[in-house]
Every structure is written in structure tokens, then in C-alpha cells.
């Protein structure tokens, strides 16, 4: 095996590999998928070399298989993610993520006066533009643009 082919993060027997996460957003992905509260074995690597992204991060969650609805929530901050479903050491399925039509409780509204920033109200947005990413707040109707997106910690 050449050194290039060696895995930086060990292979898993069963579970999900989330590959091609922008390194800067690794911990946001962990938060959105609630991996910080997950008891399964989780390994990750970050600041790994990637031809496409420059640097990338990868997360491997043993014995966990996500619903598409759940993994689509990370498309906002990790649009190039490749999900690999592993069964008995083999990749049995590859999936991509796509931005959902509606986002609930994922990111903050850019309007400081919005009720979601003043009271304990969960944010809710309709995604108006999935390419440029532009989110219309359900409550104040103001737009939150891509460069304003702050993921709720």
C-alpha cells in the first residue's frame, strides 16, 4: 500500500462516513447532527488534504444510519458532502446532500429585532434561493443571505 492510499481515519465496519466537509465547518456539522450527544463510536479527521476543497474534514459514525431529512440539514454549510453508507466494511450506498425547502432551528435570523432573537422562539426559514442561499424568515420576513448565516450553537 502506498502512503497516499493509507487511510488517515480508520475504516469502519458498519455505519456512515460523512466525507468532504469543509474543515472550517466540521464542528457545526457535529452540532447540527447532534453528534455531540451521540453515544456511538465516532472518529473524525480534520485539515486533511482535498483536491476539491483545499482542506476537508471527515466524520465516521459507527452503527448509525441517518434519514435523508436529517443529513440534508448540513447542506447549508457543507454542500459538497458525500455520505457513504458502510455495511460489513463495504460502501453499499453513496448519497449527496441537498438543501431543504424549509429550515427549522438551524441558523439565526440576521434581523436583530426579529422575535427569534428577542424571545425564545425557534427560527424558521423558507429557502428562497438554494444556489446563492437566501433564507426568508417566517416571522419577520427579512432575508438572511449566505454570508450572514450563523448556525445556532
SS3 call for 136? strand
Binding mask 53-72 for ligand CTP (x = CB under 6 A): -----x-x------------
- Whether the CB-CB separation of 134 and 149 falls below 8 Å is answered with no
Task: State yes or no: residue 106 binds Zn ion (CB under 5 A).
Answer: no
> In degrees, to the nearest 5, what angle opens at C-alpha 62 toward C-alphas 59 and 66?
75
Cβ burial, residue 111 (10 Å; 0-12/13-18/19+): middle
Residue 66 Cβ vs ligand CTP, minimum distance, rounded to whole Å: 15
β 82-87/42-50 pair status? unpaired
- 89 contacts ligand CTP (rule: CB under 6 A): yes
Does position 39 interact with ligand CTP (CB under 6 A)? The reply is no
**Positions in the binding site for ligand CTP (CB under 6 A):** 7, 11-12, 17, 19, 58, 60, 82, 84, 86, 89, 91
Give the annotated binding-site residues for Zn(2+): 109, 114, 137, 140
Amino acid at each position: 500500500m502506498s502512503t497516499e492510499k493509507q487511510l488517515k481515519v480508520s475504516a469502519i465496519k458498519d455505519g456512515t462516513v460523512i466525507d468532504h466537509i469543509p474543515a472550517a465547518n466540521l464542528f457545526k456539522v457535529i452540532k447540527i447532527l447532534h453528534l455531540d450527544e451521540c453515544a456511538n463510536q465516532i472518529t473524525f479527521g480534520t485539515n486533511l488534504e482535498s483536491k476539491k476543497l483545499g482542506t476537508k474534514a471527515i466524520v465516521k459514525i459507527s452503527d448509525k444510519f441517518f434519514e435523508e431529512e436529517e443529513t440534508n440539514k448540513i447542506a447549508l454549510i457543507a454542500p459538497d458532502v458525500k455520505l457513504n453508507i458502510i455495511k460489513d466494511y463495504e460502501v453499499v450506498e453513496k448519497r449527496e446532500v441537498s438543501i431543504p425547502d424549509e429550515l427549522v432551528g438551524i441558523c439565526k435570523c440576521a434581523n436583530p429585532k426579529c422575535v427569534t432573537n428577542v424571545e425564545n422562539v425557534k427560527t424558521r426559514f423558507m429557502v428562497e434561493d438554494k444556489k446563492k442561499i437566501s433564507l426568508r424568515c417566517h416571522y419577520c420576513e427579512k432575508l438572511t443571505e449566505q454570508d450572514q448565516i450563523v448556525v445556532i450553537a
